[in-house]
Amino acid sequence: MKTKGDAFAGLSVALVTPFKNGEIDYDTFRSQIEFQIAAGTNCLCPVGTTGESPTLTHDEQDRVIAFVVETVAGRTKVMPGTGSNSTTEALRLTKFAEKVGADAALQVAPYYNKPTQQGFYEHFKMLAEETGLPQCIYNIPGRTGKNIEPETIIRLAELDNIVMVKEATGSLDQASQIITSTKLTLLSGDDSLTLPLMAVGGRGVISVVGNIVPQDMMALTRAMDRGDLEEARRWHRKLFPLCRDMLGLSTNPIPIKAAMKLLGRDRGELRLPMTPLEDAGMVRLKKSLSEYGLM
């Protein structure tokens, strides 16, 4: 069935933000972007959870979005995280992303202040109606403290500019309710749940592990898209331990940055309050990378 955000189906990668001595390392960032473009990744998502957006200043968020759009130069799609727990700030950042040429905006549920369901609705409605960018609602109650209930998302789906939902509740029932009641393009927000979510009608994933193995994540989503369940299961079985460790060893993006450092793709530097992966986690991560065939 055709969905509203079909152009964003497949693999999107939630990019890390590389740092060097506390500052954004744009040279490394450029090489990471080129790596994704060479792999054929459909969409890049900077300044999200994986991109450590809570520790970036507003000015840095603007500069990162502009840098990614400029570096990509139309070769793939760009959907930056422009959400905030302040509707005013989310609107400002979304308008900036639109101005510099982003293709869509990833809007996390307002966090910490825990709006009512009507508050969620009014927040996303304003963003959709006052900007021209297609909007992807990002529902991750484990981070934000409150679920956007499926009934609220179904109401929002009636708005033209709301075309996608990044589903990270872990609930197949919630995902199924959205898929059966709307034409939203549902994307998995958990790498390890990509296959089951696509099995009930999801269209792809906004991936963390795609930072290191984008071709393999694409192989999984493409197999599901063409109905080759056995091939998709094969990729799921291969990817699952790596996906589990990238989100299970510590808080995202600590494990993925550690993995990228081990693979020579990043310095692994984080900004406080994020701290490096502890020794026990590093041992397990090295084992996982080795067993996958990356080390």
Active site residues: 138, 166
> Cα separation of 205 and 167, whole Å?
9
Tokens 């009641």 sit at which residue?
181
Which of helix, strand or coil describes residue 163?
strand
The alpha carbon of 274 is separated from its chain's Cα centroid by a whole number of angstroms, namely 18
Start-end of H helices in 50-199: 58-72, 87-100, 117-130, 141-144, 150-156, 172-181, 194-199
Beta-bridged to residue 255, according to DSSP, are none
**256: left (phi > 0), else alpha (psi -120 to 50), else beta?**
alpha
CA neighbor of 107 nearest in space, from 130, 137, 63, 141: 137
Sign of the C-alpha dihedral computed for residues 216, 217, 223 and 226 taken in this order: negative
The owner of tokens 């993925």 is 256
Report which secondary-structure segment, H or E, holds 217: helix 214-225
Task: Please check whether residue 260 is in contact with residue 212, taking contact to mean a CB–CB distance below 8 angstroms.
Answer: yes
